[in-house]
Protein backbone atom coordinates (compact mmCIF):
# COMPACT_ATOMS: atom_id res chain seq x y z
CA UNK A 1 0.00 0.00 0.00
CA UNK A 2 1.26 3.47 -0.80
CA UNK A 3 1.69 6.21 1.77
CA UNK A 4 -1.03 8.25 0.08
CA UNK A 5 -4.23 6.85 -1.43
CA UNK A 6 -5.96 8.65 -4.31
CA UNK A 7 -9.70 8.89 -3.63
CA UNK A 8 -10.68 10.99 -6.66
CA UNK A 9 -8.93 12.73 -9.53
CA UNK A 10 -10.10 15.43 -11.92
CA UNK A 11 -8.41 17.40 -14.69
CA UNK A 12 -8.86 21.12 -13.96
CA UNK A 13 -6.87 22.50 -16.92
CA UNK A 14 -5.25 21.12 -20.04
CA UNK A 15 -3.46 22.42 -23.15
CA UNK A 16 -1.05 20.83 -25.65
CA UNK A 17 1.93 21.24 -23.26
CA UNK A 18 0.54 20.20 -19.86
CA UNK A 19 -2.34 18.88 -17.82
CA UNK A 20 -3.21 20.11 -14.32
CA UNK A 21 -4.92 17.56 -12.11
CA UNK A 22 -6.42 17.93 -8.65
CA UNK A 23 -6.52 14.75 -6.62
CA UNK A 24 -8.48 14.12 -3.43
CA UNK A 25 -6.16 12.04 -1.24
CA UNK A 26 -6.03 10.15 2.05
CA UNK A 27 -2.73 9.98 3.92
CA UNK A 28 -1.71 6.86 5.87
CA UNK A 29 -2.79 8.69 9.06
CA UNK A 30 -6.34 8.85 7.67
CA UNK A 31 -6.24 12.60 7.11
CA UNK A 32 -7.68 13.69 3.79
CA UNK A 33 -6.56 16.54 1.56
CA UNK A 34 -5.94 17.61 -2.00
CA UNK A 35 -2.88 17.40 -4.18
CA UNK A 36 -2.29 19.50 -7.31
CA UNK A 37 -0.28 17.65 -9.95
CA UNK A 38 1.15 19.07 -13.18
CA UNK A 39 1.53 16.33 -15.79
CA UNK A 40 4.10 16.95 -18.52
CA UNK A 41 5.98 14.52 -20.75
CA UNK A 42 9.62 13.80 -19.97
CA UNK A 43 12.17 15.87 -21.84
CA UNK A 44 15.77 15.52 -22.96
CA UNK A 45 18.56 17.95 -22.17
CA UNK A 46 21.74 17.89 -24.19
CA UNK A 47 25.25 19.00 -23.33
CA UNK A 48 26.77 19.50 -26.81
CA UNK A 49 30.54 19.77 -26.43
CA UNK A 50 33.32 19.94 -29.00
CA UNK A 51 36.81 20.27 -27.53
CA UNK A 52 36.32 22.78 -24.72
CA UNK A 53 33.30 24.53 -26.27
CA UNK A 54 29.75 23.89 -25.06
CA UNK A 55 26.88 25.06 -27.26
CA UNK A 56 24.23 26.75 -25.13
CA UNK A 57 21.04 28.44 -26.24
CA UNK A 58 19.62 31.74 -25.06
CA UNK A 59 15.97 32.65 -25.24
CA UNK A 60 13.37 34.83 -23.59
CA UNK A 61 11.54 33.00 -20.83
CA UNK A 62 8.14 34.62 -20.46
CA UNK A 63 7.46 33.25 -16.97
CA UNK A 64 10.40 35.19 -15.50
CA UNK A 65 10.44 38.03 -18.07
CA UNK A 66 14.12 37.51 -18.85
CA UNK A 67 16.48 36.08 -21.49
CA UNK A 68 18.29 33.05 -20.10
CA UNK A 69 21.21 30.82 -21.06
CA UNK A 70 20.51 27.10 -20.89
CA UNK A 71 21.44 23.83 -22.53
CA UNK A 72 19.33 22.73 -25.51
CA UNK A 73 16.33 20.83 -24.18
CA UNK A 74 12.77 19.93 -24.95
CA UNK A 75 9.93 17.44 -25.14
CA UNK A 76 7.78 16.23 -27.98
CA UNK A 77 4.27 16.65 -26.60
CA UNK A 78 2.77 15.02 -29.70
CA UNK A 79 4.99 11.95 -29.17
CA UNK A 80 5.56 11.60 -25.39
CA UNK A 81 6.74 7.96 -25.64
CA UNK A 82 9.56 8.67 -28.11
CA UNK A 83 12.93 7.00 -27.42
CA UNK A 84 14.83 9.53 -25.25
CA UNK A 85 17.97 9.39 -27.41
CA UNK A 86 15.92 10.18 -30.53
CA UNK A 87 14.31 13.06 -28.64
CA UNK A 88 17.76 14.33 -27.62
CA UNK A 89 19.06 14.14 -31.20
CA UNK A 90 15.94 15.88 -32.50
CA UNK A 91 15.99 18.69 -29.94
CA UNK A 92 19.71 19.28 -30.52
CA UNK A 93 19.13 19.58 -34.27
CA UNK A 94 16.00 21.71 -33.88
CA UNK A 95 17.48 24.25 -31.47
CA UNK A 96 21.12 24.46 -32.58
CA UNK A 97 21.27 22.89 -36.05
CA UNK A 98 23.90 20.49 -34.69
CA UNK A 99 24.04 16.76 -35.38
CA UNK A 100 26.13 14.51 -33.14
CA UNK A 101 28.17 11.41 -34.00
CA UNK A 102 27.74 10.18 -30.42
CA UNK A 103 25.18 10.66 -27.66
CA UNK A 104 26.40 9.55 -24.23
CA UNK A 105 23.74 8.96 -21.59
CA UNK A 106 24.44 10.74 -18.30
CA UNK A 107 21.30 9.94 -16.30
CA UNK A 108 17.67 10.67 -15.47
CA UNK A 109 16.41 13.26 -12.98
CA UNK A 110 13.04 14.72 -11.99
CA UNK A 111 12.50 18.44 -12.53
CA UNK A 112 10.26 19.29 -9.56
CA UNK A 113 8.51 16.21 -8.21
CA UNK A 114 6.86 18.14 -5.40
CA UNK A 115 4.17 19.19 -7.88
CA UNK A 116 5.09 17.81 -11.33
CA UNK A 117 5.67 14.31 -12.72
CA UNK A 118 8.10 15.50 -15.45
CA UNK A 119 11.59 14.08 -15.59
CA UNK A 120 14.48 14.51 -17.97
CA UNK A 121 17.16 12.44 -19.66
CA UNK A 122 20.64 13.99 -19.81
CA UNK A 123 22.95 13.37 -22.77
CA UNK A 124 26.40 14.54 -23.81
CA UNK A 125 26.63 15.12 -27.57
CA UNK A 126 30.03 14.87 -29.29
CA UNK A 127 31.34 14.77 -32.85
CA UNK A 128 29.23 17.78 -33.77
CA UNK A 129 28.40 18.83 -37.32
CA UNK A 130 26.64 22.13 -38.07
CA UNK A 131 23.42 22.19 -40.07
CA UNK A 132 20.30 24.36 -40.14
CA UNK A 133 18.11 25.05 -37.11
CA UNK A 134 14.44 24.00 -37.25
CA UNK A 135 12.93 26.22 -34.57
CA UNK A 136 9.33 26.00 -33.38
CA UNK A 137 7.36 29.24 -33.47
CA UNK A 138 7.72 29.45 -29.67
CA UNK A 139 11.52 29.50 -30.13
CA UNK A 140 11.77 32.23 -32.77
CA UNK A 141 14.03 34.36 -30.54
CA UNK A 142 16.41 31.49 -29.64
CA UNK A 143 20.08 31.99 -30.41
CA UNK A 144 23.06 29.63 -30.05
CA UNK A 145 25.83 30.76 -27.67
CA UNK A 146 29.14 28.86 -27.67
CA UNK A 147 30.94 29.00 -24.30
CA UNK A 148 34.15 27.51 -22.99
CA UNK A 149 33.33 24.79 -20.44
CA UNK A 150 35.22 26.72 -17.74
CA UNK A 151 33.14 29.85 -18.50
CA UNK A 152 29.92 27.82 -18.38
CA UNK A 153 30.85 26.43 -14.96
CA UNK A 154 31.73 29.93 -13.71
CA UNK A 155 28.36 31.28 -14.91
CA UNK A 156 26.66 28.49 -12.93
CA UNK A 157 28.71 29.26 -9.80
CA UNK A 158 28.06 33.02 -10.09
CA UNK A 159 24.31 32.45 -10.50
CA UNK A 160 24.17 33.91 -14.01
CA UNK A 161 22.86 30.59 -15.33
CA UNK A 162 19.73 29.79 -13.32
CA UNK A 163 18.12 26.94 -15.26
CA UNK A 164 18.06 24.08 -12.76
CA UNK A 165 18.12 21.29 -15.36
CA UNK A 166 21.14 22.86 -17.12
CA UNK A 167 23.00 23.29 -13.84
CA UNK A 168 22.15 19.74 -12.85
CA UNK A 169 23.20 18.29 -16.21
CA UNK A 170 26.61 19.99 -16.02
CA UNK A 171 26.99 19.00 -12.36
CA UNK A 172 26.07 15.34 -12.87
CA UNK A 173 28.28 15.01 -15.96
CA UNK A 174 31.15 16.59 -14.00
CA UNK A 175 30.61 14.36 -10.95
CA UNK A 176 30.61 11.28 -13.19
CA UNK A 177 33.88 12.44 -14.79
CA UNK A 178 32.31 12.67 -18.25
CA UNK A 179 33.30 16.29 -18.86
Q: What was the pLDDT predicted at 139?
A: 77
Residues with Cβ within 8 Å of residue 71, at least 6 apart in sequence: 45, 46, 47, 48, 54, 56, 57, 163, 165, 166, 169, 170
Cα separation, 115 vs 145, whole angstroms: 32
Cα separation, 55 vs 97, whole angstroms: 11
Tens digit of each residue's pLDDT, the chain (179 residues): 579 999 999 999 999 999 999 999 999 999 999 999 999 999 999 999 999 999 999 999 999 999 999 999 999 999 999 999 999 999 999 999 999 999 999 999 999 999 999 999 999 999 999 998 888 777 778 999 999 999 999 999 999 999 999 999 999 999 999 99
Q: Tell me the C-alpha to C-alpha distance, in Å, between residue 123 and each of 40, 48, 114, 163, 169.
A: 20, 8, 24, 16, 8
Amino acid sequence: MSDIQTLDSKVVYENKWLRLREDKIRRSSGNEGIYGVVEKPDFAIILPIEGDIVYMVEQYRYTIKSRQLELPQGAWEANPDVDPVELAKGELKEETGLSAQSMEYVGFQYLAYGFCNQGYHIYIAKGLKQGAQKLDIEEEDLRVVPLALSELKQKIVSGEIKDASSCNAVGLATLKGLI
